[in-house]
Amino acid sequence: MRLIQQIGEWLDARVQLAASLRETAEHPVPRETASWFYVFGSAALVVFVMQILTGMLLAVIYVPSAGEAWNSLQTLNHSIALGWYIRALHGWGSNFMVAIVLIHMVQVFLFGAFKYPRELTWIVGIFLLLMTLGMAFSGQVLRFDQDAFWGLGIGASICSRIPIVGPWMVTLLLGGPIIAGSTLSRFFAVHVFVIPGMLIAFVGLHLLMVLKLGINEWPMPGRIVRKATYIKEYHELTHKDGIPFVPGAVWKDLFFGGCVLLTLAIVAAYFGPYGPSGRPDPTIIQTAPRPDYFFLWLYALLSLLPPEMETPALLIGPVIAILFLLLLPFIFGEGEKTWRRRPIAVLTILLVAVVFGTLTDLGGHVPWSPVMDAWSSDPIPPQFLQNRSALERQGALVFQLKQCHNCHSLGNEGGKRGPALDKVALLLTQDQLIRQVIQGGGNMPAYGKNLSPAETTALVAFLKTLHPTNQPPARDASRSVATEPAVNSPTGTNP
């Protein structure tokens, strides 16, 4: 022990940091901030350090070359002792990081911690969030598989829509004319050097401001933030009723951070690493690329927006959202902090959570995508074929062969891009069915050129059988008037 003490003294005689470190550690914080609600920032830092560590370990093996990256991931997964586990820790760590950063942000927002004088801390936090998302996307690219390759194509397509400079932005993003080795190299540089360097600097600035301005006091109804008096009030709060950060508050951070790490370790061990999925071979086109979960909401949004809204929403939406987040502490810099007296803030969080949650859920189910193999692998359920005429069954064959099943479901099997056809005969008359099949419309392609008259007749005959047994199919009332004999005319006898 004496030796350790001597080494410590020798070091501190030279670096002279012990006194200021002790002062920093023991700085007084408001008593109520030693709370389980105040642990998410430190947890994000813990996961960030973990990401740096596992990232360095992966970089020892990983080859950032378009031809070899996928193979090096296979080596990590299968040939290096516990390489799969380091990959799992890093992949799941990125999920944890995004989740904890978002929870931290929501907590800061609901507790009014962004208000005076902590505006800049919030703004730096917004940049940290954007960098975290940048790390998530570039990390997905480094897992250079099919999803990463076509995900880059999606990124390039979005970039290309920027007015005037779009095509140049695409070439800059890809580092060349196509998605290839240069693309991977630059995403490697961004993921490993550029963003982490900025993240470390911004985390340092963020922490420095937390120390200089003090941890946000527990918001109490009626404790109003005013620029003229806040600093003095906070000083009184911390010095009259404060406790030293170490050990008063830090033990909760330590326990929560430890629990997060333990959960990460267990989750990574249980679920294992992400992919890689198929080889990044552009000549294999039997693929349905899907982003990782933190961008599924965007994937869903891009399908559900009307086409003419997409480009404005993609290009203007993020700018407005980020500007709003940056200006938030200046617009609402004073006043009540507690969420109990800020109903609109609470509703905003709920609304945003519901919107993103719903979009993410939809992104997992992709009801808008055709089921590409439904026509050959999802049979028509037997109840739609029993007691049908030969012509109607021929129509069912046409339904399968012309890939109708890829977009339309029968008995809940098949695609959900178009409406389910289980009861279509109740909704459309024979003429309307023919018109819809031949001309398309309402987001359905026209099949006029690809169906012979016989095929159309058979298909419509089949579609006309699609109604519940006790409900008659739709019919055109005027047709019977025109075609049937005069005895049924309005002059006929009524009971």
Partner 1 sequence: MTLPDNLSRRAMFVKLGILFNGIIAALLAIPIVRYVLSPVTRSRGYEAWLPLGALDQFPAGQTRLGTFRNPDVQPWDGKTAYSDCWVRRIDDHTFQVFAINCMHLGCPVRWFPQSGLFMCPCHGGVYYQDGARASGPPERGLFEYPYKIEEGKLFIKAGQLPTPVSPSIPSAFVDISGKLPCA
Binders of partner 1 among residues 181 to 240 (CB under 8 A) are 181-182
**Nearer CB in complex with partner 1: 35/432:** 432
Tokens coding 368: 């808008």
Asked if the peptide bond before residue 117 counts as cis, ω within 30 degrees of 0, the response is: yes
Q: How far apart are the first and last CA of the chain?
A: 112
Determine, following the binding rule CB under 8 A, whether residue 174 of this chain makes contact with partner 1.
yes
Q: Which is nearer to partner 1, 145 or 253 (CB)?
A: 145
Residue 51 CB, shortest distance to partner 1, in Å, is 26
Q: Which residues contact 45 (CB under 8 A, 6 or more apart)?
A: 203, 207, 257
- Asked if 375 is part of the footprint of partner 1 (rule: CB under 8 A), the reply reads yes
Minimum CB separation of residue 3 from partner 1 in Å reads 46
Smallest separation (angstroms) from partner 1 to the CB of 147? 11
Q: Which amino acid is at 464?
A: K
- Residue 2 is a binding residue for partner 1 (CB under 8 A): no
Residue 287 token pair: 């693929």
Q: At closest approach, how far in Å is the CB of 154 from partner 1?
A: 4
- Quote the least distance from Cβ 402 to partner 1, whole Å: 4
DSSP H or E segment with residue 235: helix 230-241
Q: Which of 121, 135, 134, 162 is nearest to 326 (CA)?
A: 121
**Please, which of residues 270-289 interact with partner 1 by CB under 8 A?**
279-283, 285-289
Q: Is the peptide bond before 276 cis (omega within 30 degrees of 0)?
A: yes
The reply to whether omega before 247 is within 30° of 0 (cis) is: yes
Tell me: does residue 172 bind partner 1 (CB under 8 A): yes
Q: Annotate each residue in 66-95 with x if it binds partner 1 (CB under 8 A) or - if it does not, as one string.
A: xxx---------------------------
Map the footprint of partner 1 across residues 150-169, applying CB under 8 A.
Answer: 150, 153-154, 156-161, 166-168
- Name the region of 16 (left: φ>0; alpha: ψ -120 to 50; beta: rest): left
Closest contact distance (angstroms) between CB of 288 and partner 1 is: 4
Residue from 358, 377, 450, 480 in contact with partner 1 (CB under 8 A): 450
Nearer to partner 1, 48 or 144 (CB): 144
CB atoms under 10 Å from CB of 107, counted, come to 17
- Give alpha helix (H) positions in 79-118: 83-110
8 Å CB contact between 297 and 352: no
Angle between helices 119-142 and 83-110 (to 10 degrees): 150
Q: Does 176 bind partner 1 (CB under 8 A)?
A: yes
Pick from 5, 20, 386, 443: which binds partner 1 (CB under 8 A)?
443
Length, in residues, of the chain: 495
Residues lying near partner 1 in the complex (CB under 8 A) = 65-68, 149-150, 153-154, 156-161, 166-168, 170-172, 174-182, 279-283, 285-289, 299, 302-308, 310, 368-370, 372, 375, 401-404, 406-407, 417, 440-447, 449-450
